[in-house]
Every structure is written in structure tokens, then in C-alpha cells.
Amino acid sequence: MEYIKIKRALLSVSDKTGIVELAQALAARGVELVSTGGTAKALKDAGLAVRAIDELTGFPEMLEGRVKTLHPNVHGGILADRDKPEHLATIAEHGIGPIDLVVVNLYPFAKTIAKPDVTLEDAIENIDIGGPAMVRSAAKNHQGVAIVVDPTDYAQLLSENDGDGVSLTLRRKLMAKAYAHTAAYDSLIASYFEKQFVEPEAILPTTLRLSFEKVQDLRYGENPHQVAGFYKSSPIHGGGGGTEACIGNATRRDDSGKEVSFNNLYDLDGALELVKEFPDAPTAAIIKHANPCGCAQGETIAEAFVRAREADTISAFGGILAINQKFDLALAEQIVGLNNFLECIVAPDYDEAAIKKVVGGKKWGANLRLLQVEGIAGPGKDGYLLKQVVGGMLVSTRDYRPLSESELTVKSERQPTADELSELLFAWRCVKHIKSNAIVMTKGRAIRGVGAGQMNRVRSVRLAVEQAGEHGPGSVLASDAFFPFPDGPEVAAKAGVTAIIQPGGSVKDDETIALCNQYNIALVFTGVRHFRH
């Protein structure tokens, strides 16, 4: 059937967004409404005539609502093939009327298990049985039935029904979305209970089920010839999320109308993850092309930004800024006063006066994207890191490894001072977020030099030293992995570095230790590596 006209609709939704308006529009077109439980009540409260499901089936809803739509009068009306006379004769013989439209979305299982105090009983009671059955039945019989699981599809459904009828093209689209809806739902349930009972101690699941909901289409990917979109993960399917402060949970605070791009989102994630390393002091991080070009702490968030920018004022222009405290007027005045063009900013909150200042202060401010992510605390550890390769997926846990002073091993003759030790730990948290081979030089809790993404470590040291310039003397240096030779530390020593932190573990560690002793450098081993590819 190319087109179908809706004469009877079954409405039963957990997400009631727009359901009353849809029902009103259907009723105005002469459509008979059948509904269940809370949906029926909402429609009746709106003054609509609704046929209750128990009237349709001849049986009351029973077992605390577990059984209400599992009945031939429901599924016969949905599944009867309109092109087969014998099907139509059978349902007519049993007094079953056809159902032309099914509008169903499912119990909020994801929201239920996201609650910190969720019980097993709560989780089980929020497993929908009748809903998926109706969705799958209607999707299977999409030749004669329209199935809608997403409120954003209501408008197109009504528009088509006003014309020739709901087209086969739209019904096929809705059918595909319906199966995706139930697949994601079942996958979430399976993953949750596998974690509870089958593999409670497993860090990585035996079967990796991925379910990501598209948040938006992006203008393009890394390059204009690549198609891209932004998808948000459920907390149990990998990638973090849930209630964690992350880009997937961000909201917009600007009115620019300019979309956040693929590269913006990737850099926003990197910037936010870096400032989450420092929950106890005002911290600002500036990211350019997936690498920090500046990160610093200050007495105020405005001071932190100014100090972060000083590391590389050229790269900071057109960068991404993340801060871990409220975006205030003082910070906005610094950004505008320095004319530091930024693509995007992410912060836990915004002062309205600060928004007006930064948006209206310069011509580029009109296109500035402002994202708000509440609850920025320490780094997160839940979820997986996913990297696709041709023919497969590489999966790991997130790089979550807090390091305390007690775990450090001093290898040099000279012990680091208390200030050096604190600075080394600051540098160590920063270097974790720089592409390997990664070197970072810091001074006064601010990045001064960065060497990123090089194929050998000594070249990364040279780049960091060159950037640090006059700030090299008295700085400390962090390396994300061990120095295979003492040449890197020697370059750092000649630049005036006074302390170095690195994992250790090279066969030439003794040579590096001797070099540090020669230059009176405090050398600290972590025993932990932080490669970032």
C-alpha cells in the first residue's frame, strides 16, 4: 500500500512530549483514539474522548500493569496484513478492528538505572514488555501501519495524513527508527544485567554493545569533504556520560546560531577533561588542534586565563577555552581587552553580564559558542575509550590513574623541594592530555612549553624548551613516558629545568639519573605512563 489513512490510533507513551497535541490533531481528523494507563489519563484530562485499552480487549489491566496490551484484539489489529483478504476476514470474524497508527515509546529504563539509589526491583519494573511487542508488531506490518516512537516525527505524520495519506516512504523510515529504538532498549537492559549478574567483576564486557543517540548533524567532519554527526552515549554503553560533567551533557548559553563543529567538539572535550584534573583551584585550559597550548592556575579564573594564554599567545588565538569556575565579568573583560579570539568556551556557569560583554565586545564575539557543563569536579573514570580500525574496534578503559606523592620515587641525589614537588604533580596532570611523545614544562602552576606529537622524545623536549624561552630557568618538566636516552634531559638541563618527572623503566635509566645528578636536577619516577595517541 503506497498510502494509508489513519482511522484508529493506539497511543501509549512514557515520554509524553507533544502527545496531547498529537491526539487533539488526530481527533480533529476523526481518528478514534485508544490508549493505556497514564497516557489515557493525560488525554482525558485534556478533554479528549479516549477508548481505554481494557474496553478494547475485554480484560482489565492486571498484575500491576504488567499485562494490558498483550491481547489478540491489540496485536491482531496491528499485525493483520491489509493485502490479504483472509487476514481481514479473520479479524472481522473475531470482532477485531484494524489499528492504523501505533504511537509508543518505552518505560524509562535508562533514567531508572542512572539513579544512584536504584534497586533491582526498580530496574526490573521499568523493563517494558507490552511496549516493545507493539512497536515490533507495528514495524513488521509497516505496509499497513505507521509506527511512531519519537515525538519529533509527529508533525510529519500529521502533514502526510492531511494529504494522500501516510506514505510508504515515511512508514519505512519510521519502521527503521522503531527497530533502532527497541534494539537500543534491549541492549541497555542486557548490558545492565550482565554487569550485575553475569560479569560483575569484568572491566570489559565479553560482548560490546554500542548504542549512541544522534544529538545533531555537523557541518562536516575533520575536513569539509567528510560527513559527520555528534552522538551521545548512554552511561552503560561506554564513553562515560550519565551524570558526569562532559561535552555530551553540555547546554548552549549563546544565541549565535552558529553550530559547534566536529573539531570544536573534539577540542572542547580535551579542554574540559584537562581542567577536570584540577578541581581545587581556579584553572583555565586553552586547546588548539587537540593539544593544550596553555593551562594555568590563578587566584581568580581571570588570572588563570591570562597566565594560560601567556604560554603561547599565537596558538591561543582561535583556540578553545575551558574553565572550572563561573565565567565572570573580570574574565570577559580580559578576553575582550586582549582581543583573544576564541571559537568556543565551556564553563560550569556564566554571569549574564559576562556573556553580554564577551559576545558584544568584539566583532568575533557574535559567533562565539558558549557551552555550560554543570558539576565540573575531578576526572571521570567510567565508560570506555573507543578507537575504530578497519575491521574492528579497539576498546580500553579511560586513562584514570590518580597519583599521590607517596607513590613517587626520587631517583636523584637531590630531593625535590616542596614547591618543586607540587609543580611536578601539576605538570604530570597536564602532560597526560598532550599527544605523545609528550613533554610539558611548567612554572608557577602554568604551562610554559609544550612538545607534542613527535616521533622522538628529544625533539619534543627541544620544542618545549624553545617555547618556554625565558621561562625555562627554574621550570620543571614532565614526560608522558620514559626517556630512552639521556639526551632529552640534557637539553632540558641546559635550558635551566630544575626537576623532572617521568615514569622510568628504560634500560638507560642509570644514564639519565647520572645526567640529572651532574646538573643537580631532582628526578622523580612515577611508574605510570600516559601515552595519548
Residue 258 sits at the vertex; the CA angle it makes with 262 and 234, to the nearest 5 degrees, is 45
Rounded Cα distance, 176 and 301, in Å:
48
- Asked if residue 432 lies in contact with residue 530, where contact means CB atoms within 8 angstroms, the answer is yes
SS (H, E, C) 485-529: CCHHHHHHHHCCCCEEEECCCCCCHHHHHHHHHHCCCEEEECCCC
Burial class (CB in 10 A: 0-12, 13-18, 19+), 133: middle
Is-catalytic flag, 214? no
Give me the catalytic one of 7, 289, 326, 362. 289
Q: Within 383-472, where are the H helices?
A: 418-431, 457-468
Give me the catalytic one of 7, 87, 140, 177. 140
Residue 207 vs residues 56, 124, 135, 171, 395: alpha-carbon distances, Å: 41, 22, 25, 32, 11
Rounded Cα distance, 201 and 195, in Å:
8
Residue 230 vs residues 227, 261, 300, 373: alpha-carbon distances, Å: 11, 9, 33, 17
**Residue 214 neighbours by CB distance under 10 Å:** 9
Helix (H, G, I), strand (E, B) or coil at 104: strand
- Asked if residue 383 lies in contact with residue 240, where contact means CB atoms within 8 angstroms, the answer is yes
**Residue 467 neighbours by CB distance under 10 Å:** 19
- Asked if residue 516 lies in contact with residue 493, where contact means CB atoms within 8 angstroms, the answer is yes
- Asked if residue 486 lies in contact with residue 466, where contact means CB atoms within 8 angstroms, the answer is no
Rounded Cα distance, 471 and 311, in Å:
9
**Residue 428 neighbours by CB distance under 10 Å:** 25
Closest CA to 306 of 269, 338, 350, 277: 338
Could you tell me how far CA 532 lies from the centroid of its own chain? Answer: 19
Q: Rg of the chain's alpha carbons, rounded to an integer?
A: 30
- Secondary structure element (H or E) that encloses residue 272, with its range: helix 262-275
Is the omega angle on the peptide bond into residue 437 within 30 degrees of 0, that is, cis? yes
**Residue 273 neighbours by CB distance under 10 Å:** 22
Rounded Cα distance, 337 and 136, in Å:
59
Rounded Cα distance, 510 and 412, in Å:
10
Q: Phi first, then psi: what are they for 310, rounded to 5°?
A: -60, -25
Is-catalytic flag, 533? no
Closest CA to 40 of 26, 30, 57, 54: 54
Residues with catalytic roles? 140, 289
